[in-house]
Amino acid sequence: MSPRPKKQRRCEGKFCGKAFKPTGVSLVTLKQITLFRDELEALKLCDHEGLFQEQAGKKMGVSRGTVQRILTSARQKTAEALTTGAALVFADDEE
């Protein structure tokens, strides 16, 4: 039995560059944490635009529970990068 196929997620936001990192440090010397497009979109919709998870889910074409899971992952990665000096590297899709 194979896992259920991943539902297509609508993401309107664009990346501002390829990575977000501490200044003055080369990207190759930093720990790199991958932030996927759907994680950035969930952060933008919920934390920047102030939408509820259910509203964000409708915009992204996924359930509220999926938004919650994506948002938890995005917040954990962002907090780790900010508190440890790691780089957030943006990627289009999970592989």
Angle between helix 64-84 and helix 53-60 axes, rounded to 10 deg: 100
Q: What mean pLDDT is reported for the chain?
A: 89
User: Position 46: which residue type?
Assistant: C
Q: Which two tokens stand for residue 10?
A: 């609508």
Domain ranges of the chain: 38-91
| pLDDT tens column, 81-92 | 999 999 999 998
Averaged pLDDT for residues 43-72: 97
